């Protein structure tokens, strides 16, 4: 897999190695040993989520406050989405700045989003399926949202 730095501490785009032949393709979507070594993961993933969105559906920007903050490994398994994160870590050199990337089911790229980022996406195709691996459980009382167009 190729790990691409983003200019934000702990935030990485990941391009998995894809094996293709006349039968189709195969890829590892997650390998704990490799992700711990290459990304420095310190907590195991404990919850997986999948969402389906219509064309131009906007989701986010979401995050959870401590002690239920979450790191996420996200990817699109059908369709395409504009994925956006905002650094909300007080004291961070990139505080208040955003990063965006197109997640594409054909490219199979992923984004690792560390704790301390708000996360959201805009689906660019009908039936976009988005998959999340989270390192903390969902907790409604700690769910927070930023308005997508908040300056």
pLDDT digits 0-9 by tens, 19-59:
999 999 898 888 787 777 777 778 889 999 999 999 999 99
Contact 45, 133 (CB under 8 A): yes
Q: What is the pLDDT of residues 55-104, one digit of tens each?
A: 999 998 999 999 999 999 999 999 999 999 999 999 999 999 999 999 99
φ and ψ of 35, to 5 deg: -70, -35
pTM of the model: 0.91
Domains of the chain and CATH, by start: 2-145 (2.60.120.10)
Token pair recorded at residue 73? 């490994």
List, in order, residues 6 or more apart from 126 with CB less than 8 Å away.
54, 55, 79
Residues with catalytic roles: 62, 132
The residues that bridge with 130 in the sheet, in sequence order, are 51, 76
Contact 83, 102 (CB under 8 A): yes
């Amino acid at each position: 897999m190729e790990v691409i730095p983003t200019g934000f501490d702990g935030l990485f785009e990941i391009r998995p190695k894809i094996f293709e032949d006349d039968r189709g393709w195969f890829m590892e979507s997650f390998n704990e040993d490799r992700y711990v070594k290459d990304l420095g993961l310190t907590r195991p993933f404990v919850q997986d989520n999948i969402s389906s969105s219509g064309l131009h559906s906007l989701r986010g920007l979401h995050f959870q406050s401590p002690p239920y903050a979450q790191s996420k490994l996200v990817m699109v398994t059908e369709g395409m989405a504009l994925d956006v994160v905002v650094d909300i870590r007080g004291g961070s050199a990139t505080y208040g700045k955003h990063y965006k990337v197109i997640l594409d089911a054909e490219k199979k790229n992923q984004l690792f989003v560390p704790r301390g980022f708000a996360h959201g996406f805009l689906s660019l195709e009908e039936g976009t399926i988005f998959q999340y691996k989270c390192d903390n459980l969902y907790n409604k009382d700690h769910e927070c949202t930023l308005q997508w167009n908040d300056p």
